[in-house]
Structure 1
Amino acid sequence: MGSSRSLLIFIFPFLLNLISSTTAQDDGICTNTAYYCWKCSDTGMYTPGDMYQENLNSLLSSFSTNTEISSGFYNFSKGRDPNKVNAIALCRGDLSQDTCHTCLNRSTDILLQNCSRQREAIIWAEPCMVRYSNNLIFRIEKEDPVKCVPSPNPAKNSQQFELVLNPLLSSLSEKAASGDSIRKFAAGHATVPGGETIYALVQCTPDINQQNCSNCLKEAVLDVPGCCGGMQGGRILKPSCNLRYEVSLFFESTASSPVNIPPPVPAAPAPKEGMAQF
């Protein structure tokens, strides 16, 4: 009994550390429906009423009132060091300007309410993302923090589902990465044999280059099994890229195109016992 207790005392800290490390890979807080998720950075604080806050409020409010940019991507700075604020806003590639502005306006309000003194923070809404920092964030691929939001519903046949989902996301990622400095976005759908139709979209902030966008999305796709494996939908949210897939249409149908998924190559039969192999 004594030896068992000693072994448990020895193992428990290790298990606790393992659990903490796994949990730390999924950052941020979400509303009950996960329509909004945000992360307040601990890199520094500003004083309420100071110049940094004034620059921040002015900068974030400019996103939802800017009518000159119709691409849904904004990257602005305001002020001078040490009170300079850099900010990025990105709307989903299929949104109208009015819908984009509505999302940005609500998202910035929630972000400022919940990260009221942080010098760096990010919020993801389903249709848009806003982030700001006192550090340089433009044209830099950033994959942390990351937030994973799985669907509550399991796929009908998880193996068949993944055989369609993985190449669908890979195809869309390649298309999005090849976009220009205004838009890096792709949406499409494919049907699971005898099962659901998967609708998916991927997107990068278009200030990063093709290689960085490709890298970010590849890592996001690799996060899917640990986040949403076997489920009918999920979202992987990062500062420089994001992806989402569902079995119902969640974006404008005009943005979607069918993606041809080649049938999986059947596994070679095992050699019969006693047969020579060359």
Structure 2
Amino acid sequence: MPWRSSTNDCQVCETFATDDISRRCPIEKEAGIWFDGCRRRYSNRNIFSIVAEAPRVAFFNGMTVSSNLAEQDRFDTYILSIINDTAILVETEAARAKKFATKEKNISSSQTLYTLVQCASDLSGTDYGLCLRGAIAYIPPGPEGGTSFNPNCIVSYELSPSYNQTAVAALTPSARGLAHENFHSWLFS
């Protein structure tokens, strides 16, 4: 979760994540690692089908849309509205099979906002909203793009595509995820 373009890319990422978390956390009872292409999490307690709101992690670019506070406030409100609309798409029956949704919205004549929200495949439909709202609530005002995630959900928004739009259009429920080429890791234990 999220952003893979092929089954092979996913397998490579999952293998790397499994090896990396085993190397970094050899004696931990609970740990998780996220890469731009996949995630790996383990625990000595049941973690499946349970919404975990912590740890929450957020990465945002340092760019702001405007130094004008009123204009920035309007942008922040608009961004949250679009992100919430995308989260609602995941909660609909049609999107539940995929556990993710993307949305592209023109925010000016020259800018498009690309949003992605995704839930872990083991969550029930009633837990999607709770999980996504927790990730959305962690988005600070100001940045023009970023990613917020917890162990079960991810919310991402950027002014440039951070996912493979062609892969998204072609995905079926058995081919979940989106394409992204970078390996960045975030580790908790």
CA-atom RMSD in angstroms: 1.9
- State how far apart, in whole Å, the 2-side matches of 1:185 and 1:164 are: 21
Task: Give the deviation of 1:111 after TM superposition.
Answer: 1.4
Report matched runs for 1:87-236 at 5 Å.
Answer: 91-92=1-2, 95-156=5-66, 157-178=71-92, 179-180=95-96, 182-194=97-109, 196-225=111-140, 229-236=141-148
- State how far apart, in whole Å, the 2-side matches of 1:166 and 1:148 are: 15
* Cα distance per residue 1:17-61 (max 9 Å; x no partner): xxxxxxxxxxxxxxxxxxxxxxxxxxxxxxxxxxxxxxxxxxxxx
The question of whether the paired residues in 2 share the 8 Å contact of 1:203 and 1:243 is answered with yes
1:196 partner letter:
Q
- State how far apart, in whole Å, the 2-side matches of 1:174 and 1:250 are: 20
Structure 2 residue 162 is the aligned partner of structure 1 residue 250: yes
The question of whether the paired residues in 2 share the 8 Å contact of 1:164 and 1:191 is answered with no
* Cα distance per residue 1:151-172 (max 9 Å; x no partner): 1222245234223311211111
The question of whether the paired residues in 2 share the 8 Å contact of 1:192 and 1:198 is answered with yes
Task: Give the deviation of 1:194 after TM superposition.
Answer: 4.8
Aligned identity (percent) is 27
- SS at 1:224 equivalent: coil
Higher relative contact order (CA 8 A, sep 6+): 2
For residue 239 of structure 1, the aligned residue among 151, 162, 165 is: 151
- State how far apart, in whole Å, the 1-side matches of 2:146 and 2:164 are: 18
Task: Give the deviation of 1:213 after TM superposition.
Answer: 1.0
Aligned to 2:185: none
2:76 partner letter:
E
Unaligned runs of 5+ in 1: 1-90, 257-278
The question of whether the paired residues in 2 share the 8 Å contact of 1:93 and 1:183 is answered with no
Unaligned runs of 5+ in 2: 170-189
Report matched runs for 1:36-47 at 5 Å.
Answer: none
The question of whether the paired residues in 1 share the 8 Å contact of 2:51 and 2:152 is answered with yes
Of residues 156-165 and 198-207 in structure 1, the stretch that sits farther from structure 2 once superposed is 156-165
The question of whether the paired residues in 2 share the 8 Å contact of 1:185 and 1:203 is answered with yes
Task: Give the deviation of 1:93 after TM superposition.
Answer: 5.7
Query: With structure 1 as the length reference, what TM-score do the two structures score?
Result: 0.54
- SS at 1:198 equivalent: strand
CA shift in 2, pair 1:193/1:163, >3 Å: farther
- State how far apart, in whole Å, the 2-side matches of 1:175 and 1:198 are: 16
Task: Give the deviation of 1:135 after TM superposition.
Answer: 0.5
Aligned to 2:182: none
The question of whether the paired residues in 2 share the 8 Å contact of 1:158 and 1:231 is answered with no
Aligned to 2:175: none
The question of whether the paired residues in 1 share the 8 Å contact of 2:3 and 2:38 is answered with no
The question of whether the paired residues in 2 share the 8 Å contact of 1:121 and 1:132 is answered with yes
